[in-house]
Structure 1
């Protein structure tokens, strides 16, 4: 059974400890706290800092500065370069290294599936290590655009892939752990929206510097300077993250954590996780969930002008914000069981994605018969050719947000969320590496990528229905906490 720790008495908490009598009162409820006592003994600034929403916002800001800026660069089509080939090579290497870093032991900072290192050093320091790698990508694109330096762009894919692996594992565990059980959908929507708001800001920068009609080649080199600056801001926010044991959720509950395991024990747990029914049934979904990004990015780079590609990175996130919060409200509906919400969420995501894929394939077949050249936003064909890309930037994130909500529905403690998130992220990275690897040749037909993506979704549906139909009606971590409460109360009454 998990050893639940107090949010105000973590052995890693460097702040002064409270008197033993106060600590005892605060830990009377294993899964909750005495709210009045907590307010009376803990300064307001610290209560705000330790609040689960504050921690989710800090994590979301990092997602804004890091992955969102990376998505904004990708959203330019081929990274905004004159040809998408080198960008696709770099991106494929980045995700390949990320997958390898998540899979094999790479001393001293990244270990098998990322689980041991994150559970060993804590989420905070894993986020710090990862955030330090964010500016490498922006700087590499700048050097390539300004000086034609291709070797650094390709090398940056390998370096940032390893560094980002640490951050992704920690992020996956955090986003599935921080939220109270009744607000997981909305918390995950906040995380997804922050990533898209980052792309929105990046898109504004892109459009401001690349709005002239008739511009040929790639994006202005100065565009990447702004990206580097924003990517560098992730580090100070990573330093503000507190350990899971110190977090107090908005409903007054604490995060259920297990005692620290040795590396050998952790590896055994990870091996068990990788072969678990949860990961096996969700593996095809994980492989598919980010697969769309390679083909649709290439589609944008081949068929759209520079300023239209810049505009796309500005407008693409708008509908995603609405869609993700809409899905969040569905997943948090109190009138339905958790299993029923999981089923509704799954069918919603599948139907929306199928519609977008069919539209995209129809457009690509037309382009195969008649190449439209570089489409500009004042061309008559612009709207119907761009809208599939626009909508996939919503349906793709919806599938990711939904899957992390579903994974968190099965976890018994925070460490298990880290392991499940690491395994899922590893498979995601493999999918992204393959997707971008398929598109390293600019002469390749994007319809191949569209067809493979569609096929992966079709293959993932049956295993996902099997998994969703077995969703517990209550989060196991909450059940563990209730059992501990009952046992404690029984002992006190004896």
Structure 2
């Protein structure tokens, strides 16, 4: 018997593949240093913009996810990865660093959306005794993306003997894979149609007001259990 597309396992695997294509390729691109450019300054500035926006929108993304649902939240998040990789392809020809830095900022917004939706799916869809297993599946698939992306970069540029920026073909491959992941996001099922193997439906909490969301986030940071976790947040990523 095959896996139903609206099963928690299929949805987690789909999200794993999406992250394989988008954050996975981003990790491979970032590991090259400066986004694969000889002059790493633009890539470094893009990362500053990225993680600044990521930190801010990581707090707000939960409210957006609650309003849009996982499919559109992940789709919008993934689209910013395509733009980010495309900005380096553009930089190869125009040297327009401002566009790349702006794309980095937008990626910070998109990453906040994507990872918030990913976390919600990982915690809400599997049954309690399946969560560890499903999380393992996700991270194995996701990290394989960075491995493949690095292999692609090596394979395309292995004959380069003089230091230079990545060629257009490498960026185009990354952009294409990210675009595939973005399109796959549109196939995700709404939580209301996801059914566990025992027939249980996913419990969806009614969307509160935007004001209620902001107040809930602020209250969360007054919880001592959240406060003691902050040092681990800073050290882990």
Asked if Structure 1 and Structure 2 have the same fold, meaning a TM-score greater than 0.5 normalized by the shorter chain, the answer is yes
Write the distance in 1 (CA, Å) between the matches of 2:126 and 2:230. Answer: 24
Which residue of the partner structure matches residue 52 of structure 2?
96
Write the distance in 2 (CA, Å) between the matches of 1:250 and 1:145. Answer: 50
Q: Does 1:127 align with 2:83?
A: no
Counterparts of 1:233-272 in structure 2, within 5 Å, are 233-250=180-197, 252-272=199-219
Which residue of the partner structure matches residue 365 of structure 1?
none
Following superposition, the deviation at residue 284 of structure 1 comes to 1.3
Write the distance in 2 (CA, Å) between the matches of 1:198 and 1:88. Answer: 22
- Aligned counterpart in structure 2 of residue 223 of structure 1, from 170, 175, 182: 170
Which residue of the partner structure matches residue 40 of structure 2?
84
Given that 2:38 and 2:165 are in contact with CA atoms closer than 8 Å, whether structure 1 keeps it comes out as: yes
Following superposition, the deviation at residue 69 of structure 1 comes to 0.9
Write the distance in 1 (CA, Å) between the matches of 2:70 and 2:133. Answer: 21
Write the distance in 1 (CA, Å) between the matches of 2:126 and 2:31. Answer: 30
- Aligned counterpart in structure 1 of residue 24 of structure 2, from 68, 71, 94: 68
In terms of mean alpha carbon deviation, does 87-96 or 251-260 score higher? 251-260
Write the distance in 2 (CA, Å) between the matches of 1:83 and 1:195. Answer: 29
Given that 1:53 and 1:250 are in contact with CA atoms closer than 8 Å, whether structure 2 keeps it comes out as: no
Write the distance in 2 (CA, Å) between the matches of 1:96 and 1:263. Answer: 23
Given that 1:68 and 1:195 are in contact with CA atoms closer than 8 Å, whether structure 2 keeps it comes out as: yes
Given that 2:192 and 2:204 are in contact with CA atoms closer than 8 Å, whether structure 1 keeps it comes out as: yes
Write the distance in 2 (CA, Å) between the matches of 1:206 and 1:118. Answer: 34
Number of equivalences: 237
Which residue of the partner structure matches residue 12 of structure 2?
56
Give the unaligned 5+ runs of structure 1.
1-43, 104-112, 291-494
* Aligned-residue RMSD, C-alpha: 2.1
Deviations 1:206-260 (A, max 9, x none): 0111112632133223211111111111222111112223222245543333233
Counterparts of 1:254-293 in structure 2, within 5 Å, are 254-290=201-237
Which residue of the partner structure matches residue 177 of structure 1?
124
Write the distance in 2 (CA, Å) between the matches of 1:116 and 1:155. Answer: 24
Give the unaligned 5+ runs of structure 2.
none
Q: Does 1:162 align with 2:109?
A: yes
Given that 1:146 and 1:221 are in contact with CA atoms closer than 8 Å, whether structure 2 keeps it comes out as: no
Write the distance in 1 (CA, Å) between the matches of 2:38 and 2:130. Answer: 44
Which residue of the partner structure matches residue 89 of structure 2?
142
Helix, strand or coil: the match of 1:156? Answer: helix
Following superposition, the deviation at residue 188 of structure 1 comes to 1.2
Write the distance in 1 (CA, Å) between the matches of 2:94 and 2:151. Answer: 24
The TM-score with structure 2 as length reference comes to 0.90
Helix, strand or coil: the match of 2:201? Answer: coil
Give the 3 Å change call, closer, same or farther, for CA 288–250 of structure 1 in structure 2. Answer: farther
Given that 2:80 and 2:103 are in contact with CA atoms closer than 8 Å, whether structure 1 keeps it comes out as: no
Structure of higher RCO (CA pairs closer than 8 Å, 6+ residues apart): 2
* Greater Rg over alpha carbons, structure: 1
Write the distance in 2 (CA, Å) between the matches of 1:213 and 1:224. Answer: 16
Deviations 1:451-484 (A, max 9, x none): xxxxxxxxxxxxxxxxxxxxxxxxxxxxxxxxxx
Given that 1:65 and 1:234 are in contact with CA atoms closer than 8 Å, whether structure 2 keeps it comes out as: yes
Given that 1:209 and 1:223 are in contact with CA atoms closer than 8 Å, whether structure 2 keeps it comes out as: yes
